[in-house]
Amino acid sequence: MRILVTGGAGFIGSALVRHLICNTAHEVLNLDKLTYAGNLESLTSIADNSRYEFVQADIVDQSTVSTLLKRFQPHAIMHLAAESHVDRSIDGPSDFIQTNIVGTYSLLEAARAYWQGLAEPKKSAFRFHHISTDEVYGDLHGVYDLFTETTPYAPSSPYSASKAASDHLVRAWHRTYGLPVLLTNCSNNYGPYHFPEKLIPLVILNALAGKPLPVYGNGQQVRDWLFVDDHARALLKVVTEGAVGETYNIGGHNEQKNIEVVHAICSLLEELAPNNKPQGFARFADLITFVKDRPGHDLRYAIDAGKIERELGWVPEETFETGLRKTVQWYLDNRQWCRRVQDGSYQGERLGSTDIKDLLA
């Protein structure tokens, strides 16, 4: 297959691209705007592969996307490009509306025109896979309730509201125009190459630097944690075997309170990096600092991933304990990647990029 991946330089996108290149024979065109969260250094291991190409472009630019579709002739589009940090959406929602809603609309229109121009059997085989989040469901108040594919939407933040809107657009394009779509809603991802503004990498790097480990409110917020490589395997399963028009929830079966996650990281650092302990502190956990909770903070997310297990045979390979150990060790082993992200120098690299002007000439 030829697969166009949008947002393939982001955290989940780069994991998917690496999985596709390293574990399949598929060809990949990675389209990414390269905002602050897009990091081509996460793709250096596959950047020179003959089955991989990167193009820097914005999904809002429908004409450019149409040109790429015409040239690359993909069998599937896997749409991950999105603004995704809740705190940033609270401080400045405009980018989230533009990329997540307007960008998805533009991509859908380009994909619809491309798909309608295909001859059979390519037209019937084409897939548009939209990757979304469990945050569109709001939060769960019961201890045992789980998000299912039919849980009503109740987004709490500008980020989750923009993703909910994009989900609705994708379903509308399927029902109105017949575009063959698939949707997935995933729980919190973690793993290597995660941008340090998110909880797990932030705690790891702050602890190693002797900085405070900020925990919102009382730290009792519950999340279902999914190792990013498990997610990449699930996404490939869905795009190749999923039923058109269906939604699949993807979760890690790993519910943890935020404060439990922070303590687990501190314990692993005590074991794996005892010589990095900050001066003046007996334990890494002594750096934990409770800060004012974010506005509209959801209390609990938890995914029922039974459908994807029953219908497609996917289950996560990593437990939270094994995945977190691999994650902490990766950050210890890749301090140069971390430093370049923290000082911003990673944004000066454009590895393996195709100049968009060459494509439009």
Per-residue DSSP letters for 207-254?
Answer: HHHT--EEEETTS--EEEEEEHHHHHHHHHHHHHHPPTT-EEEE--S-
What confidence tens digit (pLDDT) does each residue in 237-252 have?
Answer: 999 999 999 999 999 9
- CATH code of the region 2-360: 3.40.50.720
**Which residue is catalytic, options 137, 159, 190, 193?**
159
Q: Which of 19-23, 124-128, 221-225 has the lowest mean pLDDT?
A: 221-225
For the CA atoms of 82, 337, 352, 50, what is the dihedral angle to 10 degrees?
-100
Rounded to whole angstroms, the Cα distance separating 190 from 210 reads: 22
Token code pair at residue 148: 């299912």
Q: What value does the CA radius of gyration of the chain take, rounded to a whole number of Å?
A: 20
Taking residues 275-287, what's their average pLDDT?
88
Burial group, residue 248, by CB count within 10 angstroms (0-12, 13-18, 19+): buried
Angle, alpha carbons 175-181-185 (nearest 5°): 110
- Categorize the per-residue pLDDT at 294 as very low, low, confident or very high, splitting at 50, 70 and 90: confident
Rounded to whole angstroms, the Cα distance separating 330 from 324 reads: 10
In the DSSP assignment, the letter for residue 135 is G
- Categorize the per-residue pLDDT at 57 as very low, low, confident or very high, splitting at 50, 70 and 90: very high
Active site residue 134: yes
46's CB contacts (< 8 A; 6+ apart) are 17, 18, 21, 22, 52
Rounded to whole angstroms, the Cα distance separating 75 from 78 reads: 10
Count CA within 13 A, CB hemisphere, residue 211: 10
Token code pair at residue 184: 């997935």
Taking residues 16-37, what's their average pLDDT?
97
- Categorize the per-residue pLDDT at 354 as very low, low, confident or very high, splitting at 50, 70 and 90: very low
pTM: predicted TM-score of the whole model, two decimal places: 0.93
pLDDT value at residue 358:
42
pLDDT value at residue 332:
96
Active site residue 27: no
What does 146-198 look like in DSSP terms, one character per residue?
Answer: -B-TTPPP---SHHHHHHHHHHHHHHHHHHHH---EEEEEE-EEE-TT--TTS
Token code pair at residue 282: 């007996």
Residue 5 predicted with pLDDT over 70: yes
Q: What residues does 257 pair with on adjacent strands?
A: 222
pLDDT value at residue 351:
41
What confidence tens digit (pLDDT) does each residue in 104-151 have?
Answer: 999 999 999 999 999 999 999 999 999 999 999 998 877 789 999 999
pLDDT value at residue 297:
83
**Which residue is catalytic, options 58, 134, 139, 224?**
134
Token code pair at residue 49: 């592969």
Q: How far is CA 231 from the centre of its chain?
A: 9
Rounded to whole angstroms, the Cα distance separating 15 from 353 reads: 18
Taking residues 187-199, what's their average pLDDT?
92
Taking residues 212-234, what's their average pLDDT?
94
**Which residue is catalytic, options 27, 135, 139, 167?**
135
What phi and psi, each to the nearest 5 degrees, are found at residue 79? Answer: -100, 105
Q: Tell me which residue of 57, 94, 88, 91 sits closest to 72, measured CA to CA.
A: 57
Q: Exposure string (b/e) for 114-147, b if CB count within 10 Å is 16 or more?
A: bbeeeeeeeeeebbbbbbbbbbbbbbbeeeeebb
Token code pair at residue 124: 């019937």
Rounded to whole angstroms, the Cα distance separating 218 from 221 reads: 8
What confidence tens digit (pLDDT) does each residue in 299-318 have?
Answer: 888 999 999 999 999 999 99
Residue 183 predicted with pLDDT over 80: yes
Tell me the average pLDDT of the chain.
Answer: 93
Active site residue 159: yes
SS3 26: coil
Higher-confidence residue of 37 and 184: namely: 184
Q: Measured in Å, how far apart are the chain's first and last C-alpha atoms? A: 27
- Categorize the per-residue pLDDT at 161 as very low, low, confident or very high, splitting at 50, 70 and 90: very high
pLDDT value at residue 130:
98
Taking residues 144-167, what's their average pLDDT?
95
